[in-house]
C-alpha cells in the first residue's frame, strides 16, 4: 500500500484531547480500547467506544470530545492514493468486528516498545485497512440479496483467514449439508466455497506481498496455509506467477514509475 507513518502514540485515562478540532493534512486512526468519545465529521455525528476505530481522512474537518475517559492508540500517516483498499475508506467508524480490533490492540500493546515498532505499526495500519475492505465487501454482497446463511459463511471466512476452515463444520453451523452449501454458493456467488476461500486468501496474500515486510512463509501462515509450498502452488494457479515473482514484478514496476 506504500503508506508513510508520521507518528504513533498511546494514551491511557485521557479525559480530553490536546487537539479537539481542526483539519489535518494526513490520515488518522484512533483505536479505542476503553471509554467512549463523540465525533462530528464528514456531515455525521457519531459515538466511538471500546474496541472500535475512528478514521479521519486527510483534509477533513473534525470536532471530537471525550464522553468517558479513554485508552487509545493513535496512528497518523500518509495514504497511498492509488491503493483501491485505502480508497474504500471513508470518514467515521471502520467496519471491523470488535473481537478483531481487541486482538489487534493486544498486538499494539506488545510491539509498542519494540525498536522496529514503526515498521510493525505500518503493517498493522495496512491490516486494518484490509479488514475494513473485506468486511465492507461482505456487507455489499448482502445488499445484493445474499442469504443470511451465506453471509454468515462469508464473514466467518473473512474473520478466520489464518486458520484451517472446515467447510463441512461451517455448513453444519448454518444447518446445511456440504452439497447444500456448494449449491447455495454456486447459485448466489457463481463459485464454490473452496474456490471463494482460495480467492479470498490469495487476495489478502497479494496485499501482504505488496507491503514487502514479511517473508513468503510468514504470509502463507497468515493466509491459512501451514505449508509454504502449497501456498505457492495455490498462488501461482490463481495469479499466474509465484509469490516471489509477484513481489519482484511489483517492486520493479514501482521503481520504474519513480524513475
Q: What is the pLDDT of residues 203-237, one digit of tens each?
A: 889 888 887 778 999 999 999 998 999 999 999 99
User: In the predicted model, what is the mean pLDDT of residues 158-164?
Assistant: 88
Strand partners, 21: 63
Q: Check residue 38 and give its pLDDT.
A: 94
- As a whole number of angstroms, the distance between CA 93 and CA 135 comes to 13
- Provide the sign of the torsion angle of the four alpha carbons 155, 37, 112, 28, taken in this order: positive
Q: Which CATH class is domain 145-258?
A: mainly alpha
Instruction: Decide: 60 and 71 in contact? Cβ < 8 Å.
Output: no
Q: Check residue 73 and give its pLDDT.
A: 92
- Domain 4-108, second-level architecture: Sandwich (2.60)
Most confidently predicted of 41-45, 116-120, 198-202: 198-202
Element housing 238 (H / E): helix 228-239
Most confidently predicted of 136-140, 188-192, 206-210, 238-242: 238-242
Give the burial class of 121: count Cβ atoms within 10 A of its Cβ; 0-12 exposed, 13-18 middle, 19 or more buried: buried
Q: Which three cell numbers stand for residue 240?
A: 499466474
Q: What residue segments make up the domains of the chain, in order of their start?
A: 4-108, 145-258
Which has the higher per-residue pLDDT, 222 or 110?
222
Mean model confidence pLDDT for the chain: 85
State residue 162 phi and psi, 5-degree precision: -80, -5
Instruction: Decide: 204 and 243 in contact? Cβ < 8 Å.
Output: no
Amino acid at each position: 500500500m506504500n503508506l508513510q507513518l508520521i507518528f504513533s502514540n498511546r494514551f491511557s485515562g485521557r479525559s480530553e484531547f490536546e487537539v479537539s478540532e481542526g483539519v489535518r493534512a494526513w490520515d488518522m486512526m484512533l483505536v479505542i480500547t476503553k471509554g467512549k468519545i463523540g465525533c462530528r465529521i464528514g456531515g455525521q455525528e457519531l459515538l466511538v467506544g471500546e474496541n472500535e476505530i475512528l478514521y479521519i481522512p486527510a483534509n477533513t474537518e473534525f470536532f471530537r470530545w471525550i464522553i468517558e475517559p479513554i485508552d487509545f492508540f493513535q496512528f497518523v500517516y500518509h495514504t497511498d492514493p492509488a491503493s483501491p483498499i485505502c480508497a474504500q475508506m471513508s470518514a467515521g467508524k471502520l467496519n471491523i468486528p470488535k473481537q478483531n480490533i481487541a486482538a489487534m490492540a493486544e498486538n499494539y500493546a506488545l510491539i509498542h516498545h519494540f525498536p522496529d515498532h514503526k515498521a510493525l505499526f505500518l503493517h498493522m495500519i495496512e491490516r486494518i485497512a484490509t479488514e475494513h475492505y473485506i468486511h465492507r465487501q461482505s456487507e455489499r454482497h448482502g445488499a445484493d440479496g445474499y442469504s443470511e446463511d451465506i453471509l454468515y459463511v462469508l464473514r466467518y471466512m473473512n474473520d478466520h483467514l489464518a486458520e484451517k476452515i472446515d467447510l463441512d463444520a461451517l455448513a453444519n453451523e448454518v444447518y446445511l449439508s456440504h452439497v447444500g452449501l456448494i449449491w447455495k454458493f454456486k447459485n448466489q456467488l457463481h463459485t464454490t466455497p473452496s474456490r471463494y476461500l482460495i480467492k479470498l486468501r490469495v487476495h489478502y496474500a497479494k496485499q501482504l506481498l505488496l507491503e514487502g515486510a514479511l517473508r513468503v512463509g510468514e504470509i502463507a501462515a497468515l493466509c491459512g496455509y501451514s505449508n509454504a509450498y502449497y501456498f505457492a502452488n495455490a498462488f501461482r494457479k490463481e495469479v499466474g506467477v509465484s509469490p516471489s515473482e509477484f513481489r519482484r514484478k511489483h517492486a520493479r514496476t514501482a521503481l520504474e514509475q519513480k524513475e
